[in-house]
Structure 1
Amino acid sequence: MKKIFALLVLAGIANAVTAADIVGNAKAGTAKVEMCIGCHGIPGYKATFPEVFQVPMIGGQSAKYIENALKAYQKGDRKHPTMKGIAASLSDQDIADVAAYYAQQAKPN
């Protein structure tokens, strides 16, 4: 029983180290934002599915905020169906790269 517990602890540490090693690359993110710019790149854009709402401009937002938001969509903690579908298609590296791309942009006026 102690060996199994020790293995589980080591596996958890290995996963934590792997997740901590992921560093976003803004240049790599450039090739990963095609799905984002159609809504988030248009000032004043309003989406109509599942209801009409103002789409936020995310350029200049902190990378951590964007990463947390995308992971919340993946887990279902945030409920927008389109964003959930997009986030579900992203790896942890993709999320880090997209977040780095948007974080390095200037905030819109």
Structure 2
Amino acid sequence: MKLRTNLKRTVFALAVTAFCGIAGPALAADALVGDAKAAVGKVSMCIGCHGIEGYKASFPEVYHVPMIAGQHAEYIVTALQEYASGDRTFPTMEAIAQTLSPQDMADIAAYYSSLK
């Protein structure tokens, strides 16, 4: 009886360890914490459009550029991910988003969400 209980515990412990080894990195990637201070050197490519009130881009058509200061960080990260994957389309944003790492996206989102 004791052997069977120990075997069950061992199998359960191995299963939990395996799950954590597989799911842990994936869950950690979703939970990146952005650093607004780290983004200061990363937002120069954003300021030219998103930092000008009422700015409109003219390629490929006239497009009102949204102000993103104060926007929720999760929204900004999702938008950047969608531009990077092509789920959202705008040539300039696609090109920029595709150069960003997940940590860059989290940092930029933290920076813009901290602005009012």
Query: Partners of 2:58 and 2:27 in 1: how far apart?
Result: 40
Q: Which runs of 5+ in 1 are unaligned?
A: 1-5
Aligned mate of 2:68, from 58, 62, 75 = 58
RMSD across aligned positions (CA): 1.7
The yes-or-no answer on 1:24 pairing with 2:49 is: no
Aligned mate of 2:105, from 81, 95, 100 = 95
1:11-90 map, 5 Å: 12-90=22-100
> What stretches of structure 1 move > 4 A for 4+ residues in a row?
8-12
Greater length-normalized contact order (CA 8 Å, ≥ 6 residues apart): 1
Could you tell me the percent identity over the aligned residues? 56
**TM-score, normalization: structure 2?**
0.79
Asked which structure has the greater CA Rg, the reply is: 2
Higher normalized helix content (fraction of residues):
2
Match of 1:3 in 2: none
**TM-score, normalization: structure 1?**
0.84
The Cα of 1:56 is off from its aligned counterpart by 0.4
